[in-house]
Amino acid sequence: MFSKKCRTLCIELVILLCIGIAMVGSSSRLWAQAKFGDAHYFMNRQIIFALLGFVVMYVASRISLCKLRKYIKVIFWICTASLILVLIPGIGVLRNGSRSWFGVGSFLIQPSEFFKIAIILYVADFLSNRYRIKTFKKDLLVPFLLVGLGFGLILLQPDFGSGMVMVCSVVVMVLAADAPLSYFVRIGLLGVAGLSGLILSAPYRLARITSFLDPWKDPLGTGFQIIQSLFAIAPGGLLGAGFDNSMQKHFYLPEPQTDFIFAIFAEEFGFIGCVLLLGLFVAIIYQGVKIAKNTFDPYLCYVAIGLVSLFAIQVMINLGVVVGLFPVTGITLPLVSYGGSSLMVMMGSMGLLMSIANEE
């Protein structure tokens, strides 16, 4: 039987998934009709992903993370190997300039999504087993090196956004382990230097930064997507234009069912709708934080913190990109944007949270 917190979390997830399916259907209708001759192409697939996601969530909720713990290193290295394999031409599928997927028929599997969960489990195990205040720097050298390895492999795809979400989630976990802030200041300075080098080494990343600072400098190029996103949000007003009445989805905002689906939602449901949707995200995060706070096993507590931070950071980055606070990164809005791997992995992570709640 599920605990009360699990039932509340499940209800919130169902509501958010229903909103996501409806918005995928609304935002993608014209694109799907033009590209596939079926206005419901993306929505039908999202329904399948959601149903599979519930199966994954249920299975994950029945898994004992304490029993799974002894297989964590094997899981981690399998996920790492998948990041290497996806880079090989003929094995990894090239899409929109990124080699980030394995193709299974018409479905695509993104291994970086699974690696996020694997690194959270690995770091949680490491922190609970070997964390010592006196040897903090030395103890954390191995997990930080492994995080760097994963980040480097994801960056080669290239998928900078997913790598940043993973790194930020691990940083939150280590901060929760009562790490000295002075250590993170030094790591942060090294990270800023490294990110600056990565941005300057890739013209497309530098273009994203410049378009973020001034999208109107290249309104038909690098600044096009964020400008069209803002054009969608601005007319939404207080109540919005109404469901399925967005104008920006009429081939102005590219593939609106993916990373920029919140812009279409804002146009159709306005400020009040956005507040209610954000409230739903906050409610899910709150339930996850409660589960983490009420967990006395250090390992399970660290896993819960990692999973909640993974969800919260991805929501924050996606919304920040859509409203122009962050450069475009290619991060989906959890449980709302179209995408099979992202949705099922996120549902699986919610299932693991339920498993932790059931073990309290």
Q: Domain residues of the chain, as ranges?
A: 72-334
Identify each DSSP E strand in the chain by its residue range: 92-95, 98-104, 107-109
Query: In this model, does residue 1 exceed pLDDT 70?
Result: no
Position 133 scores a pLDDT of 47
**pLDDT value for 195:** 66
User: Would you call 294 helix, strand, or coil by DSSP?
Assistant: coil
Coil vs helix vs strand at 225? helix
pLDDT, greater one: 324 or 241: 241
Query: What is the structure's pLDDT at 180?
Result: 66
Confidence of residue 95 (pLDDT cuts 50, 70, 90): confident
Give the angle 156-95-166 at the CA atoms, nearest 5°.
Answer: 45
Task: Map residue 330 onto helix, strand or coil.
Answer: coil
pLDDT above 60: residue 292: yes
Q: What is the pLDDT of residue 323?
A: 87
Q: What mean pLDDT do residues 144-149 have?
A: 84
Cis peptide before 254 (omega within 30 of 0): no
Q: Is the pLDDT of residue 341 over 90?
A: no
Mean residue pLDDT of the chain comes to 84
Per-residue confidence (pLDDT) for residue 205, from 0 to 100? 62
| CB distance 217 to 249 below 8 Å | no
pTM of the model: 0.90
* Residue environment code for 230-242, b if the CB has 16+ CB neighbours within 10 A, otherwise e: bebbeebeeebbe
pLDDT of residue 224: 81
- Of the pLDDT bands very low, low, confident and very high (cuts 50, 70, 90), residue 178 is confident
Q: What is the mean pLDDT of residues 304-317?
A: 94
CA dist 145 and 182 (Å) reads 19
Q: What is the pLDDT of residue 136?
A: 53
Q: pLDDT by residue (tens digit) across 38-85? A: 889 999 999 999 999 999 999 999 988 888 888 998 999 999 998 888
Q: Are 153 and 80 spatial neighbours (Cβ–Cβ below 8 Å)?
A: yes
